[in-house]
């Protein structure tokens, strides 16, 4: 390539005054052909910019006719900047880098929990921090050797149920093996979930979930829903034998439609099933439960955490019953505190009041 330019310079130097315009016209046409083969936008280095400025400054008005590698206005701007102290300003490419404080907070949350990137984005939003994009959070985690996906099993949702979410409740039993003075026994709770708001009501535990107990819990549930001003028009449950005719009659007497899920179709009761899985994996699986009082305490703590402190991915990372903190203009890492429940099993982050 150097030999070509060397020969070109010798040719121009030996040319007559009449030959030079013809040679320049040809070179311009050849340059246009070569330029058409290249991408529309060409990046140049700082060194290349300085060379263009050095020779372009002598062109005068011909800049608008000759320059094609960049817009003529761009070269003129470079020439003006080169005359100022500091020279040509470097151009920063791409998106602005995420603030280091936010990067540190993302990494901290990921290391202290088994959360995926969407849950971390929810915690940031709850703190009043505008989260980076999903891909940015995922890349930050990957750069630090952290898995961007949450550690949980796969689950599917029945989208049809969302059409009835505003007035639909689902309920199901959950049993936990607990240690008592009589040895290991099965302890039961009954879980009610409002599909639209995702709010839950969990009964006190029992070793004997018979018809009488279940009917009483249904009545307590209806009182709870009324106190929270949550409509109950439809209640969906599976075909567990404990849901007897008397239990359903209690609901129907209140003008509540009872819908039984299809045989061997747990996905039709997907929302409450998913909540029970969350209760189990995020809380109860971490403990050896000693009797009813211990079980009720653990469940009560989790329900408070679930309603007041946990951002919900299915609700655009909003809290269920508390208001998000206002967006922070300036973030101080020292102002972000971690609140723990149940010895650190349940954590949430909040900004400490000034």
Count of domains forming the chain: 3
Cβ-based neighbours of 325, under 8 Å, separated by 6 or more: 126, 127, 128, 350, 351
Q: What pLDDT, on a 0 to 100 scale, did the predictor assign at position 179?
A: 94
DSSP H helices in 177-259: 211-227, 245-252
Task: Return d(Cα 107, Cα 144) in angstroms, integer.
Answer: 8
pLDDT at residue 177 in the model: 95
Burial class (CB in 10 A: 0-12, 13-18, 19+), 201: buried
- For the ranges 95-104, 207-216, 271-280, 338-347, which has the lowest average pLDDT? 95-104
Regarding whether 280 and 168 lie in a shared domain, the answer is: yes
pLDDT digits (tens, 9 = 90+) for 63-89: 777 777 788 888 888 888 887 776 666
Asked if residue 142 is part of any domain, the answer here is yes
Residue 205 and residue 341 in one domain:
no
Q: Is the dihedral of CA 183, 214, 227, 307 positive or negative?
A: positive
Query: Could you tell me which of 244, 300, 241, 257 has the C-alpha nearest to residue 170?
Result: 257
Tens of pLDDT, residue by residue over 245-270, are 999 998 999 899 998 887 767 677 88
What's the pLDDT at 189?
A: 96
Same domain for 129 and 61: no
Domain membership flag for residue 94: no
Domain stop point among 82, 111, 134: 82
Domain boundary among 51, 82, 113: 82
Q: Report whether pLDDT(190) > 80.
A: yes
User: Based on the domain organization, do 259 and 178 belong to the same domain?
Assistant: yes
3-state secondary structure (DSSP) of residue 38: coil
Q: Is residue 318, in this structure, part of any structural domain at all?
A: no
- Rounded to an integer, what distance in angstroms lies between the CA atom of residue 194 and that of residue 200? 6
- Do 190 and 288 lie in one domain? The reply is yes
Residue 165, pLDDT > 90, answer no
- Predicted confidence at residue 225, as pLDDT, reads 93
Tell me: the pLDDT tens digits for 284-324?
999 999 999 999 999 999 999 998 888 877 777 778 776 65
Residue 163 scores a pLDDT above 70: no
Number of H helices, E strands in the chain: 12, 7
Residue 242 sits in which domain range? 159-313
pTM: 0.58
Give domain status of residue 216, yes or no: yes
H-helix segments, the chain:
2-13, 19-36, 46-56, 63-66, 72-82, 100-112, 117-126, 134-143, 211-227, 245-252, 270-282, 291-308
For residue 240, what are the contacts with CB-CB under 8 A and spacing of at least 6?
Answer: 172, 173
The answer to whether residue 39 is domain-embedded is: yes
Report the CATH number at residue 180. 3.30.420.10
Report the distance separating Cα 323 and Cα 307, nearest Å: 11
The answer on pLDDT for 155 being more than 50 is no
pLDDT at position 281 is 94
In a domain, 55, yes or no: yes
Q: For residue 335, is pLDDT > 90?
A: no
Q: To 10 degrees, the CA torsion angle through 150, 155, 161, 167?
A: -50
Query: pLDDT per residue over 116-137, tens digit each?
Result: 888 898 888 888 888 888 888 8
Would you state the pLDDT for residue 323? 60
Q: Tell me how far apart the alpha carbons of residues 226 and 81 are, in angstroms, rounded to a whole number.
A: 71
Count of CB atoms within 10 A of residue 70's CB? 17
Q: Closest by alpha carbon to 155, among 254, 67, 267, 55?
A: 267
Closest CA to 87 of 42, 47, 58: 47
pLDDT tens for each residue of 192-230: 999 888 999 999 999 999 999 999 999 999 999 999 999
More confident position, 271 or 14: 271
- From the CB of residue 317, how many other CB atoms can be counted at a distance below 10 Å? 20
Non-local (6+) Cβ contacts of 107 within 8 A are: 140, 141, 144, 146
Asked if residue 211 and residue 309 are part of one domain, the reply reads: yes
Are 163 and 306 members of one domain?
Answer: yes
pLDDT for position 158: 46
Assess whether 194 and 113 both reside in one domain: no
341 plus 245 within the same structural domain: no
Checking if the pLDDT of 153 tops 50, the result is no
Q: What residues are paired with 271 via a beta bridge?
A: none
95 located within any domain: no
CB proximity list for 214: less than 8 A, separation 6 or greater: 190, 242, 243, 244, 247
- Domain match, 171 and 213 both: yes
Tell me, yes or no, whether 223 lies in a domain.
yes
187 lies in the same domain as 144: no
pLDDT band at 154 (very low <50, low <70, confident <90, very high): very low
pLDDT in tens, 23-56: 677 777 777 787 777 777 777 787 888 888 887 7
**Are 190 and 240 members of one domain?**
yes
């Amino acid at each position: 390539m150097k030999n070509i330019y060397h020969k070109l310079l010798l040719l121009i130097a030996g040319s007559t005054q009449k030959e030079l315009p013809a040679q320049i016209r040809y070179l311009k046409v050849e340059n246009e052909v070569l330029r058409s083969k290249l991408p529309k936008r060409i990046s140049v280095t700082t060194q290349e910019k300085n060379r263009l400025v050095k020779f372009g400054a002598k062109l005068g008005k011909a800049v608008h006719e000759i320059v094609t590698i960049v817009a003529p206005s761009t070269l003129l701007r470079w020439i003006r900047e080169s005359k100022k102290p500091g020279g040509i300003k470097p151009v920063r490419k791409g998106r602005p880098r995420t603030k280091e404080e936010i990067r540190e907070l993302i990494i901290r949350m990921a290391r202290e929990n088994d959360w995926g990137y969407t849950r971390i984005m929810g915690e940031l939003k709850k703190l009043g921090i505008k989260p980076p994009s999903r891909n940015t959070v995922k890349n930050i985690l990957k750069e630090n050797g952290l898995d961007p996906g949450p550690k949980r099993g796969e689950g599917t949702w029945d989208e049809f149920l969302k059409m009835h979410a505003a007035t639909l409740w689902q309920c199901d039993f959950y049993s936990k093996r607990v240690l008592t003075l009589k040895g290991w026994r099965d302890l039961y709770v009954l879980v009610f979930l409002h599909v639209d708001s995702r709010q839950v009501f969990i009964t006190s535990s029992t070793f004997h979930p018979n018809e009488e107990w279940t009917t009483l819990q249904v009545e307590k549930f209806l009182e709870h829903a009324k106190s929270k001003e949550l409509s109950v028009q439809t209640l969906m449950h599976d075909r567990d034998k404990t849901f007897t005719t008397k239990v359903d009659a209690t609901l129907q007497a209140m003008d509540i439609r009872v819908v039984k899920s299809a045989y061997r179709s747990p996905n039709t009761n997907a929302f409450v099933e998913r909540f029970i899985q969350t209760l189990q994996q995020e809380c109860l699986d971490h403990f050896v439960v000693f009797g009813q009082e211990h079980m009720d305490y653990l469940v009560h703590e989790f329900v408070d955490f679930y309603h007041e402190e946990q951002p919900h991915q299915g609700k655009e990372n909003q809290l269920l019953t508390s208001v998000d903190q206002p967006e922070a203009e300036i973030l101080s890492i020292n102002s972000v505190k971690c609140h723990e429940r149940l010895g650190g099993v349940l954590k949430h982050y909040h900004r400490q009041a000034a």
